[in-house]
Amino acid sequence: MNNVVSLPLPAAVAAAPTAHPPRIALLGTGNVGGAFVARCDALRAAGVPLPAFAWLSNSRALDPCVDGVPGLALERLRAAPPHPGPWSPWVEAESLRRGDILVDASASDLVAGWHGEWLARGIHVVTANKLGAGADGERARAVARAQQEGGACYGDAATVGAGLPLLRSIRDLRAGGDRIHAIAGMLSGSLAWLFDRYDGRRPFSGFVRQARDAGYTEPDPREDLSGEDVRRKLLILARAAGIALEAREVAVESLLTPALAAASHDAVDAALGDLDAPLRARYAAACKRSAKLGFIARLQCNDDGGVRATVGPEALDGADPLAAGAGTDNRVAIWSDRYCDQPLLIQGPGAGAGVTAAALVDDLLRIVAGR
């Protein structure tokens, strides 16, 4: 099974030769980008052959890694002054050639908007950025078209489940003639951790701060608490299942209060206390039913061809297949023709720079190996 999307190609495109060894280019030098570089260094030290880095970049600067040590390039980039003018990932990617591998470890909408352009040029894209296939439908369709035009691969295992075999399982089921009827899951490792730790006695806001400081949430935890990240992941899963779902068709119940949603960046920490009373009430109501709180994404394909998609907090009873997860685990249930009475369950760690970077490297290795 393979997370790298590789669609059937026209013969001329598929046979287009690569005249040089592939190189790696990294966009994004935050926690995930740093963990990706560290994992590549560890594999090289263990004797695993990997392509050389063409360059590493963030929104401040580009480092050509002329010394061949990406870890040092990473340090230089993190210390670099801000970019002196308008920054464009396209300008930096101009140096790449057919067969090179661009790794997007950013969360940038600007960068994700170029995925299709790079693929059409025959540049492979490996991404943890959900704004490529998890944004509007036209962008996702452009990514799929570009793979056929350019003969390149799109490695997206890190976009959902931090490398768990979710996307490749759904794609393999479809390739075998199966039809997906429903998907439900805890798709956010940070929210899974929060609801697993929350006990109704200590403030929920305190757990949010812990999760942020541990790197489970984004630096601004509202990106997780809003449910938008989970919406994008559900869109990616739905599209992998062959369902042309649009963002507006997913009903999202955010955990944010209006005041917290509107708070300035500097005021977010002080405003987190707005979460405490609503979550305490939810927890108490769930306890009365002997249920467990979770932040759940659901996709249901109806017999009439309609689709219902929701994202938000739910009280799960003990018999629910999603109720058994713990910690940062993502737990996903898939119902299909094959798995109609009991769903296929996939579970494992779904948060953290390490597991996300490992998924990026796995896709990178598959592309290098031609799988």
Q: pLDDT for 289-344, tens place per residue?
A: 999 999 999 999 988 878 999 999 999 998 898 988 788 899 999 999 999 999 99
- pLDDT number for residue 54: 94
Helices (H), the chain: 11-14, 31-45, 70-78, 89-93, 109-112, 115-120, 137-150, 166-175, 189-197, 204-213, 222-225, 228-240, 258-262, 268-271, 276-288, 353-369
- pLDDT number for residue 84: 73
288 classed as catalytic: no
- pLDDT number for residue 370: 86
Residue holding tokens 């057919």?
Answer: 98
Q: Are 160 and 169 in contact (CB under 8 A)?
A: no
Under DSSP, the state recorded for 200 is S
- pLDDT number for residue 18: 54
What does the pLDDT look like over 83-121, one tens digit per residue?
777 777 767 788 899 999 999 999 899 999 999 999 999
- 44: phi then psi, degrees, rounded to nearest 5: -60, -45
Question: 3-state class of 98 per DSSP?
Answer: coil
Residues of the chain with pLDDT under 50: 1-17
Residue holding tokens 């769930």?
Answer: 286
Amino acid (1-letter code) at residue 274: D
CA distances from 296 to 53, 157, 216, 224, 356 (A): 39, 20, 17, 13, 21
- pLDDT number for residue 19: 63
How far, in Å, CA of 301 to CA of 180, rounded? 8
Q: Are 302 and 243 in contact (CB under 8 A)?
A: no
